[in-house]
Structure 1
Amino acid sequence: MANVTKIVFIGAGSAAFGLSLFQDLFSSAELAGSTLTLVDTNPDALARMAALADVLNRRGNAGLVIETATDRKAALEGAGFVLCAVAVDRNRLWKLDFEVPRKHGVRHTLGENGGPGGLFFTLRTLPLIVDIVRDVEAICPDALFINLSNPESRIVLGLSRCTGVRALGLCHGIFLARWFVCQILGMPEKEVDVWGAGLNHFQWLTAIRERATGRDLYPLLREREKAHDPAFTPLTRRLFHAFGLWVTCSDDHVGEYLPYGWEGGEHGFDFENDERGRVILKDLMDGVIDGSKPIPDDWTGPSWGERAVAVIEGMLHNRKRFIESGIVVNHGVVPGLPDELAVEVPLVADAAGVHPVALGRLPDGVLKLLSVQAGVQQMAVEAALRGSRELALQALLIDPVITSTDAAVAILDELWEANRPYIRPCL
């Protein structure tokens, strides 16, 4: 593989993902001479991110060539890596995903990756991403497709069912779990290594170790957790007590997969704060672009927890780069889960590709808990790939978050209608 490449970022108007990617790209010297092509259907958002990329590229002396495109097919020509962070009418439909089930008596947490919300995120998002990946397959079939869109496990599983493109999902959830663990341990995150296996947002830490010495920190965690504030991430801690391992990545995400997940909080995503934050971030970006505001210090160094650039560097320079966590098709990496399921495990990236790291068999109770969700995800993906209302109802009825057949039918009627423009067969 050549030492320069073309990186195409689809959904580059996404300010949050875009900024994290820029932090990693423009604080690295390893991709100098490569091309970054930013793609978005929103010309205003695209122009803002391109202008910011230009400022940070020059500030970091990173040496990338920056291009923009609104036509993804033209952009994909010659790509070595394709990153994707897309969503369909994100906040409006996500609010419905959360509010409609509650109206019909379903208690749930986020409505994004599990439960009825997870189903409808899959039904509307997977067809769009399948279209993108089929363009990749036709135009740059050797490229690595890196998915950053939720629901990660279902998208990677769906892509494996209908395309031959190499696909990888990336999520910073394992680092969020490390943050929670370190609050209890009273240790800085940089001093702690964590290893995990399972499903996205439902990964179990098989090891927690002191980075400098390799010391097992699980005994210390168990001891200090006893005296820690009981209001701190209570659902995760109840699972820790019951199953013996810490689960990623937070109460609201883990709770999406469990009938009692609402016990960790059922307030949903904070849309108002998210929208306020986006306004503030865009204002700051505009100030950095026109020079009226200084570049924040944290914009000029590596991001917290995003690993796409590390994957690209490892593959481009054959560095055998260790990646703490990624979503790939199982193929036996997590024994006891279906081979075709998308699992989240550590990886090594080099010129030969992305190689999952097997951490051995998970405890039986953990495996059985994961197996429940495995079936739900498989059924939801099948419903999305076939655009099938009948399979969507079955996916709801096997989901442990659903506790009423009447509620399932009512939710399906209402949310299917809201998502109808985006649901279509892919097979």
Structure 2
Amino acid sequence: MKLCILGGGGFRTPHVYQALLADRATPRVTEVALYDVDASRLATMTAILREMGAGHPDAPTLVPTTDLHNAVAGSDFVFAALRVGGLEGRCCDEHVALDAGVLGQETTGPGGLAYAIRTIPVMLQIAQVVKDLAPDAYVLNFTNPAGIITEAMQGALGDRVLGICDTPSGLGRRVASSLGLDPARVQLDYIGLNHLGWMRRVLYNGRDVLPELLADDARLGALEEGQLFGLDWIRTLGAIPNEYLYYYDFTRDAVRSIVSSGATRGDYLQTSQTEFYERAQAVDPGADIASLWRSTVDSRSASYMAEARGDEPGTESDEWYESAAEDESAQGGYAGEAVAVMAAISRNERTTMILNVRNNGTIAGLPDDAVVEVPTTVDANGVHPLSTAQPDLRQLGLMLQVKAVERHAIAAATTGSRDEALQAFALHPLVDSVNVARELLSGYIARIPEVAAVLTR
């Protein structure tokens, strides 16, 4: 099978290749087309992947290219992991919002909307190329904000586009492990949108074990979410929130922490990843470039969400998110989930995981064509979202408001309408004034050329 990775020069591409090397069943991926617009970064990642595959005689063949059409043509699966505007754009996403006194984060809040507006047109062009040159391919979207991008692409490709985010499944694995249970035997009851959801039940042998975790101070306190939200608030909710709900539940605390940290997550990644690529391109041929990548991964994982907690973005803190590196391995993380999805479809190895898929009546109150993040069975016949207990009023209300915002952002990106963009910013629950929304819109147009190029009306 042929796999096309869009954004193949990206920092996380080796995770995918590691998962492919570990996959031994048939049929399996035998060719990987690596597409990127940055030829130097593409060359660096290709060298790392070749080093990783050196000990595997049947390692998938690597075909790096800067030609989108050649990369996509004949693909069975397409992984989309692009960053339109690069890390400089991400930094602007964060800082324009912080300058206006609201949350600066790349997927949650106004930063995510700016990211979506400039990314959707590019992804829709890619969708057309896939439709023309690989009409039977499934597109596994990792490009953030994943829910919005997946929904926009589904307008062109239907249910053959699904979004993957490892946060909910990672939470499920950690909950199971904290209770000493086999994660493979746990069934997760999760409901929401991407980066906005709740783990409401954890079933093991037909019994909900979540109440046991909520009642256990030591185990709940050791969980990353317990440290982030506090035990009392999680018990008040009666569910474990997705970590990104911290930005909704503790908005002022998050903004204050990010501002006081002196640097955003984007600032940290722009510095660390730029240094990595510069060092990687300077090493002698034959050097252990993969080790350099792994050491950078360790630092990146350990500092995840550090700025929101008030820590320096480049520092580790209290064993926080120490399981991130494990979740990025071939057995976990978004790469492992992507390979599991491919196996389910190509080999009918039926599996259930939490994915971003078309609602189709799963959550009452949301449109059928809205993308939601719910447990989904995947097999050779495609994706099948599972019915679930309906959300409570607070959960549904927040999902409805954010979904309306997402749809205004899609409309802005597809029509170039600044009025649609203004509505997206103004209606977002983390933006507290229409005047602030106007300031955000003006700031993103002035600071990010890719946003200005889209919003022409």
Q: TM-score range by the shorter chain?
A: 0.7 to 0.9
Sort the Cα spacing of 1:130 and 1:288 in 2 relative to 1 into closer, same or farther, 3 A: farther
Sort the Cα spacing of 1:148 and 1:285 in 2 relative to 1 into closer, same or farther, 3 A: farther
1:388 corresponds in structure 2 to 417
1:254 corresponds in structure 2 to 245
1:358 to 374, 383, 387: 387
2:14 to 8, 19, 36: 19
**Percent identical:** 24
Q: 1:90 is aligned with what amino acid? A: G
Distance 1:420 1:293 in 2: 34
Q: Which runs of 5+ in 1 are unaligned?
A: none
Q: 2:341 is aligned with what amino acid? A: V
2:3 to 7, 21, 33: 7
Contact 1:55–1:289 at 8 Å: present in 2 too? no
Distance 1:129 1:237 in 2: 40
1:407 to 416, 424, 436: 436
Contact 1:145–1:165 at 8 Å: present in 2 too? no
TM-score computed with the length of structure 1 as normaliser: 0.85
For 1:15-414, what aligned pairs fall within 5 Å after superposition? 15-16=11-12, 18-30=13-25, 31-32=27-28, 34-106=30-102, 108=103, 110-164=104-158, 166-178=160-172, 181=175, 185=178, 187=180, 190=183, 193=186, 194-210=188-204, 213-225=205-217, 228=221, 232-235=226-229, 240-248=234-242, 250=243, 253-256=244-247, 258=248, 260-264=250-254, 266-268=256-258, 269-275=264-270, 277-278=272-273, 290-292=286-288, 302-306=330-334, 307-320=337-350, 322-414=351-443
Paired residues, what number? 411
Distance 1:197 1:255 in 2: 16
Name the structure where helix makes up a greater proportion of residues.
2
Could you list the per-position Cα deviations for residues 177-198 of structure 1 after superposition, in whole angstroms to 9, with x for gaps in the alignment? 3466469x56478488333121
SS in structure 2 of the partner of residue 99 of structure 1? helix
Q: CA deviation at 1:84?
A: 0.8
Q: Which runs of 5+ in 2 are unaligned?
A: 259-263, 296-324
SS in structure 1 of the partner of residue 17 of structure 2? helix
SS in structure 1 of the partner of residue 143 of structure 2? coil
Sort the Cα spacing of 1:130 and 1:228 in 2 relative to 1 into closer, same or farther, 3 A: same
Sort the Cα spacing of 1:305 and 1:73 in 2 relative to 1 into closer, same or farther, 3 A: same
SS in structure 2 of the partner of residue 228 of structure 1? helix
Could you list the per-position Cα deviations for residues 281-302 of structure 1 after superposition, in whole angstroms to 9, with x for gaps in the alignment? 6557987972547867989961
Could you list the per-position Cα deviations for residues 97-151 of structure 1 after superposition, in whole angstroms to 9, with x for gaps in the alignment? 2222222232x2x422232112101111111111111111111111111111100
Q: CA deviation at 1:218?
A: 1.5
SS in structure 2 of the partner of residue 219 of structure 1? helix
TM-score computed with the length of structure 2 as normaliser: 0.80
